[in-house]
Amino acid sequence: MEQKEIMDKVLKILGPYAKNKDALAAASDATNILTDLEVNSSRLVDIILAFEDEFDIEIEDGEADKVNTVGAAVSMIKAKV
């Protein structure tokens, strides 16, 4: 799967949880999911589960806690698909 396709799917998954829609629209690899997109920490778990479902992958706890930015999410998923 191409990086852009993964990025688009990641942003679509993040969409409903991102309170800062402006930051979502301008998201880049460096965008922090919690502080820039203003996703509540409890929703990070939903997002990890949604990544597993969307990309048919398994994400271990030690991998999930490194998903701080959009770019980190894309890289982690790209390495698995």
Alpha helices per DSSP H over 26-69: 41-55, 61-64
Q: Is 68 exposed, middle or buried (0-12, 13-18, 19+ CB in 10 A)?
A: middle
* Selected range binding another protein among 6-14, 21-29, 58-66, 73-81, rule: CB under 8 A: 58-66
Least gap, CB of 56 to another protein (angstroms): 15
Q: Is 46 in the site for another protein (CB under 8 A)?
A: yes
Q: For residues 62 and 12, what is the distance between their CA atoms, to the nearest angstrom?
A: 24
Least gap, CB of 16 to another protein (angstroms): 10
Q: Is 75 in the site for another protein (CB under 8 A)?
A: no
